[in-house]
Structure 1
Amino acid sequence: MRFPRSLAASAALCVMAVAVAQSVPVPNAAPASSVQIPAAPAPVGAAAWLLMDFSNGQVLAGANPDTRIEPASITKVMTSYVVAAEMKAGKIKRTDQVLISENAWRGGGGGTDGSTSFLPLGSTVSLDELERGMVIQSGNDAAIALAEHVAGSETAFVELMNTYAKKIGMNNTHFANPHGLSDPNHYSTARDLALMGRAMIRDFPETYAYNKIKEYTVNGIRQHNRNGLLWKDASVDGIKTGHTSTAGYCLLASAKRGEQRLVSVVLGIQTDSQKQGFDLRENGNLALLNWGFRFYETRTLYTPDKVIASPRVWKGAENAVAISVAMPFSVSLPRGKFDALKANIDLPKHVIAPLAAGQKVGTLKISLDGKVVAEAPLVAKTAVAEAGFFGRLWDGFLMWWDNL
């Protein structure tokens, strides 16, 4: 078994299956910090909240992260995601002219209680303008019109929303409409909404950029972005507010400072005062973001080009295979804790050919103080074909002997 001389990761590296271990230093590790990190600031009045690191999806803090709650207009982030995905697939274009149907006008227009872009009945608007109206103004009419244009009906579009939600990993979410107005079958969780925001930023950065636009004018009516954090902190560039009488005041936010990005969610603040509702959701998110940036850091430990180990291959044309992570692997930890990390490689007792390039071989687990904080699959960097008949026969005998 061969190991690289240096790994951009933590201290001890154990290969469990073959009982070989080697300690490696952490490059440029800062001295360990003995300062106790204070508890995350719980947003006042929130029914659920969560702070997530964007690069790896690690949850840094939260309360009731998997409790089902109405997402209100945060729903429109998924609507935007579906539109962007269908556009990338070539099914629609930004220049498409979209009809404002009676359903869109009545269900989300100026005569309703919800937010609207005031789109005239029977008019046509470019898809790009509708997208901006939905993202910036939170227009329900824009959301319905987009849904009808993309899928033919709201019902068909909702099916797409739920399909994409499952692909993202939103396992406790079900959408019933594209705008977020109350429905018994319309719910999500703080964890799922953070995953959705992360996916939007990662997969469609061009469309996501609309979220930081502070105001937009449609038909001569200028409206401001409802995310007040855009004015309070320059590092905030999204994502989406939400409010209904039953959902309360909600906000999914994200900020980037240097190379680190965090995603925060505050849900279910109930108050009769609109100003207090706005302030509580904004201040709650900002406090979480400030806490996360102050006390946590994110480092990339392994990249796909670095060989982590080269375990023996049984019944193979080659005796060993180089393994690595499939994607850049980062970890978020309290500042000053990276030199206390341990990395364990879990491999099966026998790695058996044939192996395809990119095939999962084992698992890399990163631990701090005996607790696994992150893990990633380890894959074969190259394919390994089967050995000839006698080679397979001999290795089969050795494996049988090894198992005695």
Structure 2
Amino acid sequence: MLATDPLNTSATYAFIMDGDGGIPLYSKRGDEPMIPASMSKLMLYYMVFERIKAGRLTMTDEFTVSEHAWRTGGAGTDGSTMFLPLNSKASIQDLLKGAIIISGNDACIVLAEGLFGSEEAYARAATARAKELGMMNSTFANSTGLDAPGHRMSAHDIAIIAFRIIKDFPEYYPMFREPEFTFNKTRQYNRNPLLRELDGADGVKTGHLSVSGYGLVGSAIREGKRRVIVLNGLGSETERKKEGPRVMRSAFLDFTASTLVNKGAEVAVADVWMGEQEKVSLIATESYATGLHMDAVPKIKGSVVYKSPLMAPIKEGDIVGNLIISAPGTPDKKIPVAAGKAVNEMGLLGKAIAGLKGE
């Protein structure tokens, strides 16, 4: 292990992901379910985008603002709002911009009700879809991220859904970097501090509740590489404005995604007992890539464990041992290794000669 936490963030929860391959680079309580606040709205955006891309919804379709949406997320509430009038209609494009750019709770509820009939139905569908996407620590109770029993996501899961939005819907992702949105003559601004404080930043979402603190899921590109960060539990908006850019800079400068072995690579040569060949190549049966702090890279170690010598006959592809890869800050990785080619058993004459040699 590294001697100290290499990121040293004040956030209660933190996660860094390689935004090109989805490889985790750093985790601080990253797989613990937490109160995600508005960062959980990413799940709603993803499900709306899915329907648009599938032709089941268009940007010009309109949904009606229900009383529930108006009372729970509208002008008379303390949360973020698009100020949608009761019983009015709004286009999917305006609702998405209101939900994404200014985090309007009313816009989210209108989208959820329009697609699923109710927030409760949306929450059930979102929980199921999250599992399909590999988000194993996410359960949803609403579309807004307002605190509710059972509404939880891990920082890792938030990174996953941000990564999937960027990868699966590049045509819609530019909405996340728009600095402002005006609806019904009311101009409001994107709260994401990365967009103003860091070159290359292009998304994704902030979150805040008194019970969860200040959070941020952000993404940026530098020199052709993308990073995704998630922070939650920060003490103030000022702290988020400072810590978000600092962590993103560290994500680029201090962490890397490394392929430590490729499938099919020779990792050792083993002695063979009573075989027509005396040695056989051992090859890795799978590739392995992981995220590492730069200080850990020189400390990577690998060893191949098998019972030597191997006894002939050996079939090509026979699993004969394991490659153990160790790196500071990550669990040891065990990869089965296989014989790279077949080795036939010696004939009787060969065995006799080997016996005379004392082998």
TM-score category, normalised to shorter length: 0.7 to 0.9
The equivalent residue for 2:9 is 43
Q: Is the 8 A contact 1:56 1:331 kept in 2?
A: no
Deviation at 1:374, TM superposition (A): 7.3
Equivalence for 2:118:
153
Match of 2:45 in 1: 80
Q: 2:24 aligns with which of 45, 55, 59?
A: 59
* AA in 2 matched with 1:50: F
Q: State whether residues 53 and 263 of structure 1, in contact with CA within 8 Å, keep that contact through their aligned partners in structure 2.
A: yes
Report if aligned partners of 1:147, 1:178 keep a CA contact under 8 Å in 2: yes
Number of the residue aligned with 2:207: 242
| Contact 1:331-1:374 within 8 A present in 2 as well | no
Counterpart of 1:367 in structure 2 is 325
The answer as to whether partners of 1:260 and 1:297 remain within 8 angstroms in 2 is no
Deviations 1:155-206 (A, max 9, x none): 2111221122111222111110001111011111212212222222122222
Q: Which residue matches 2:345?
A: none
Structure 1 alignment gaps of length 5 or more = 1-35, 271-276, 310-322, 353-360, 379-404
**Aligned equivalent of 1:280, options 239, 246, 258:** 239
**Counterparts of 1:159 and 1:242 in 2: how far apart (Å)?**
22
What is the distance in 1 between the residues matched to 2:63 and 2:33? 34
The Cα offsets for residues 266-292 of structure 1, whole Å up to 9 and x where unpaired, read as: 11234xxxxxx1121232222222112
* Structure 2 residue aligned with 1:265: 230
Amino acid at match of 2:249: N
**Aligned with 1:184 (options 144, 149, 166):** 149
For structure 2, the residue ranges without an aligned partner over 5 or more in a row are: 267-283, 307-313, 338-359
Alpha carbons of structure 1 residues 138 and 343: separation in structure 2 relative to 1, 3 Å: farther
Partner of 1:116: 81
Is the alpha carbon distance of 1:376 and 1:195 closer, same or farther for their aligned partners in structure 2, counting shifts above 3 Å? farther
1:37–1:295: 8 Å Cα contact kept in structure 2?
A: no
* Aligned mates of 1:133, 1:365 — CA distance in 2: 51
* Percentage of matched positions with identical amino acids: 36
* In 2, Cα distance between equivalents of 1:215 and 1:375: 49
Structure number with bigger Rg: 2
SS of equivalent residue, structure 1 residue 187: coil
- 2:196 is equivalent to residue 231 of structure 1: yes
Assess if the C-alpha contact under 8 Å between 2:81 and 2:106 holds in 1. yes
Match of 2:253?
294
Aligned to 1:32: none
Cross-structure match for 2:186: 221
The amino acid across from 1:128 in the alignment is Q
Taking a change above 3 Å as real, the CA distance of residues 156 and 43 of structure 1, as seen in their structure-2 partners, is same
Correspondence for 2:158: 193
Matched to 1:145, the amino acid is V
Counterpart code for 1:117: M
Q: Match for 1:72: what amino acid?
A: A
When residues 124 and 302 of structure 1 are mapped into structure 2, their CA distance, relative to the original with a 3 A threshold, is farther
Residue 172 of structure 2: SS of its match in structure 1? helix
Q: 1:258 to 1:96 in 2, by over 3 A?
A: same
RMSD over equivalenced CA pairs, Å = 3.5
Kept in 1: contact 2:15–2:27 (CA 8 A): yes
Q: What corresponds to 1:25 in structure 2?
A: none
Instruction: Give yes or no for the alignment of 1:170 onto 2:135.
Output: yes
Q: TM-score, normalised by structure 1?
A: 0.67
- Whether the aligned pair in 2 keeps the contact of 1:69 and 1:268 (CA below 8 Å) is no
Contact 2:326 2:333 in 1 (8 A): no
The answer to whether the 8 A contact 1:72-1:181 is kept is yes
Aligned-partner Cα distance in 1 for 2:323–2:64: 52
Counterpart of 1:191 in structure 2: which amino acid?
H
**TM-score of the pair, normalised by structure 2:** 0.74
Distance 2:52 2:60 in 1: 11
In 2, the alpha carbon distance for the partners of 1:369 and 1:325 equals: 18
Aligned-residue offset at 1:66: 2.5
Give the direction of change, closer, same or farther, for the CA distance of 1:174–1:350 in structure 2 (3 Å limit). farther
Q: Which stretch shifts more, 116-125 or 131-140?
A: 116-125
- For the 8 Å contact 2:26–2:292, the answer to whether it is kept is no
SS of the equivalent of 1:129 reads: helix
Alpha-carbon shift at residue 333 of structure 1 (Å): 4.0
Distance verdict in 2 for CA 1:259–1:366, change over 3 Å: farther
Within 2, Cα distance between the matches of 1:74 and 1:235?
21
Larger RCO (CA under 8 A, 6+ residues apart) = 1
| Count of residue pairs the alignment pairs up | 310
* Deviation sequence 1:308-344 (CA, Å, 0-9, x none): 69xxxxxxxxxxxxx9979xx8554445948967698
Question: What is the CA–CA distance in structure 1 between the aligned matches of 2:303 and 2:131, rounded to whole Å?
Answer: 31
AA aligned opposite 1:42: N
Amino acid at match of 1:49: A
Residue of structure 1 equivalent to 2:66 = 101
Q: 1:286 is matched by which residue type in structure 2?
A: P
Paired residue for 1:135?
A: 100
